[in-house]
Structure 1
Amino acid sequence: MVEVRTAPGAGFRRRVLLVLCLTEITSWGVLYYAFPVLAPSISADTGWSVSAVTGAFSAGLGVSAPAGIVVGRLLDRWGPRWVMTAGSLLGVPAVVGIAVAPSWPWFLAAWLVAGLAQSATLYPPAFAALTRWWGSDRVRALTGLTLAGGLASTVFAPLSAALLGGFGWRGTYLVLAAVLLVVTVPAHLLGLRGPWPGAPAPPEHADPGAIARSRPFLLTVAAVFLGTFCGFAVAVNQVPLLIERGLDVQTAAWALGLGGVGQVAGRALYTRVVGRLAPPARAVLVLAALAASTALLGLLPGPAWLL
């Protein structure tokens, strides 16, 4: 690990931000947003139940959470270049394994490996990279990254649906594995070059353990967990729900892609709300909007209303 005392230059910081915008759109698109579009076809082609197919995907997400602890320690020591490059390289055979899985246990195993790749390529390591390299200006960089990352479903949901018609779900995942290889591996390897600053010293008398055990922290974790569960459940089930209500795969995929536009708009709006509302009020507003939109998906009578 090499520590530096001077802040990286503006050109370097812009390059890192642009690289991570590109790789986050691609990584989220391949490792996450392609699945909701392809899941109904996977179930229909293999005979595996939708619950089993979704369970394998969910198991991968479950693996990514504890793996993130190890990834964080590796980031502190080596920086994001090697960690995110390794994650991208691991993601390629994982996606190929998903594509060629001859049975559900193999399908599950491939998603478990994909979960490891997710932990090293999605938002957490990218946020860590921008936070350390951008320093006091990190909020602007993080905002730009999340605005760009919100477009992952807008790009990859319709793309997956278009590929599905010509290649089937297995061929689509093989194409997406090639996209992951060509885009993210060289981008992380070459675009994240640079000295990695040492970790800042913790505040004097800081007690992270006491904070982690405190009632406000535990309630915040519970609220974020439930909100994230709700949001991810909507994303994963939206395409099957719309197909069940009469839409074709392509139209349902475009509907999921519109959710990405909504994410970008919501995040842009959120930046205007910051400073006008206290953090608890902002959190309640966001969670209430998520709950209301989720309820509408179940209550509205037909696909035209859902669009």
Structure 2
Amino acid sequence: MSDVGAASPSGAPSIYRGWRVLTGAFLTSLLSIGATHYSFGLYVVPVSQELHLSRANANSGIIILSIASALMGPFVGRMLDRWSARKLMICAGLLMPLGYIIISLSHAPWLMALAILPIAFASDATGGMASLRLATRWFQRRRGRAFGITSVAASASGLLMAPIIGMLIGHYGWRTAVAVTGIGAGVLIVLLTLVLVVSRPQEGEMERANELVPVAPDSSDAVEYRTWTLKAVFSEPLFWVIACGTALILASDRAIMISIAPFLSDKGIGVEQAGFMVSVLSGSAVLGKLGIGYFMERFDIRALYILVAGLHIVLLLLFLFYPGYWVVFAALALIGVGFGGIIPIVHMLYASTFGGTSYGTVMGAAGVIMNIWSIVMLRGIGEVHDRTGSYNLAFEILIGAVLLSIILILIGKSSRARLLPPAMAL
């Protein structure tokens, strides 16, 4: 199958091929994220015990993965824009098992750390960045829904892959589990890509599916077709406004998620009850991703951003004043919508501000900022607790970060028209 593939004959009733491509992107992203970020915690205890590592040193693996992904992200995003996404995903799927096999056979932590590099590349090239790039190529009118669906892959990977990997570790040991996970995920990614993924639609295919949004040459929507280089992205002040705004709220998300269980432990709540609360939050987040993805096509994205950011602040206030386990538990069923909904909103912010033509390049650049802020906040929230004995100050800082995020996004969206190419701005 070529990068464009063959559409159904003109006039023949068929389902738009973009949905098939989106299915392939969803499944490959699920496998990629599930084999890396969502399964990492399962290996910490057995690896630290066998190699006599401290928990901090064992946790260094996820930090190395995050840093490597951040550094490779701009280049992978650029490749997804300029090259065949299908061929890049196949190459990454073939490369993925290499890192896992090295880790499964190695007894040297430095070699394991080095083996994370091909895994990071494969994760970027087959995970969320690839699925979002395909979504922007195949969808315009229903892009919000497409972003919502692809965003669910991360949640689904934790739900489906974590139990399987945990079972492999329990029955066969962590080394066998690593090898099986890497080889299995890599093979499935290649097969799914070959069968389902097509890099771009044929000429006229989006029009026939009523997927194109009409754009006047002098409209601010014409930014959809502007091309960006990495240098141009990093030189654009508006990029830094949007990137810092979205990075603040996403980093706050991650800091909250890793702190829920220890925060509840400080309140005398057991691990099982804390896990139940996290499950409710995660389930609500899935509904938020799908629901907000749909509403983005009908409502002002700034209003939706304020809504989900406001839900973040409500959750932080609940933790700060803590009215009791069951009150917080019930509130999470609604507040989780904000946790999930922020993901497709962030993706749409970049697509609507910088266009879909160079979406991979822009998101790769944004990933650097997001990862830096995440590392700072993940480290910072633990430091605050260690120094003060409480998470209260950390929650207050996160509230300030979310408020600043709202201000930056409102400034950024009001400045969007200035990104028009010079020929269109005349």
RMSD (Å) for aligned C-alpha atoms: 4.1
- Does structure 1 conserve the Cα–Cα contact (< 8 Å) formed by 2:21 and 2:197? yes
- Normalising by structure 2, we get a TM-score of 0.57
- Does structure 2 conserve the Cα–Cα contact (< 8 Å) formed by 1:154 and 1:259? no
Decide which of 285, 288, 296 is 2:310's aligned counterpart: 285
Per the alignment, residue 243 of structure 2 pairs with 221
Q: CA deviation at 1:33?
A: 0.7
Alignment map for 1:52-71 (pairs within 5 Å): 52-71=57-76
* Secondary structure, counterpart of 2:53 in structure 1: coil
Structure 1 unaligned regions, length at least 5: none
2:165 paired with 1:141? no
Q: Which amino acid aligns with 1:108?
A: A
Q: Which amino acid aligns with 1:118?
A: S
- Does structure 2 conserve the Cα–Cα contact (< 8 Å) formed by 1:75 and 1:125? yes
Q: Distance in 2 between the 1:202 and 1:235 partners? A: 36
2:113 paired with 1:113? no
- Does structure 2 conserve the Cα–Cα contact (< 8 Å) formed by 1:29 and 1:156? yes
- Does structure 2 conserve the Cα–Cα contact (< 8 Å) formed by 1:158 and 1:254? no
- Does structure 2 conserve the Cα–Cα contact (< 8 Å) formed by 1:164 and 1:172? yes
Per the alignment, residue 184 of structure 1 pairs with 189
Q: Distance in 2 between the 1:22 and 1:112 partners? A: 22
Q: Distance in 2 between the 1:98 and 1:295 partners? A: 41
2:92 paired with 1:87? yes
Per the alignment, residue 201 of structure 1 pairs with 225
Q: CA deviation at 1:73?
A: 2.1
* Alpha carbons of structure 1 residues 279 and 180: separation in structure 2 relative to 1, 3 Å: same
Q: CA deviation at 1:197?
A: 7.0
Q: Distance in 1 between the 2:3 and 2:182 partners? A: 33
Q: CA deviation at 1:259?
A: 5.7
- Does structure 1 conserve the Cα–Cα contact (< 8 Å) formed by 2:99 and 2:118? yes
Per the alignment, residue 37 of structure 2 pairs with 32
- Normalising by structure 1, we get a TM-score of 0.77
Q: Distance in 1 between the 2:294 and 2:142 partners? A: 17
2:217 paired with 1:212? no
Q: Which amino acid aligns with 1:70?
A: F
Q: Distance in 2 between the 1:294 and 1:45 partners? A: 37
Q: CA deviation at 1:66?
A: 2.6
| Number of positions where the alignment pairs a residue of Structure 1 with one of Structure 2 | 294
Decide which of 268, 272, 276 is 2:290's aligned counterpart: 268
% of aligned pairs identical? 21
Q: Distance in 2 between the 1:171 and 1:240 partners? A: 31
Q: Which amino acid aligns with 2:226?
A: P
Q: Deviation per CA, 1:101-130: give whole Å up to 9, x if none.
A: 211101111122211112211111211111
Q: Distance in 2 between the 1:166 and 1:238 partners? A: 30
Q: CA deviation at 1:149?
A: 3.7
Larger Rg: 2
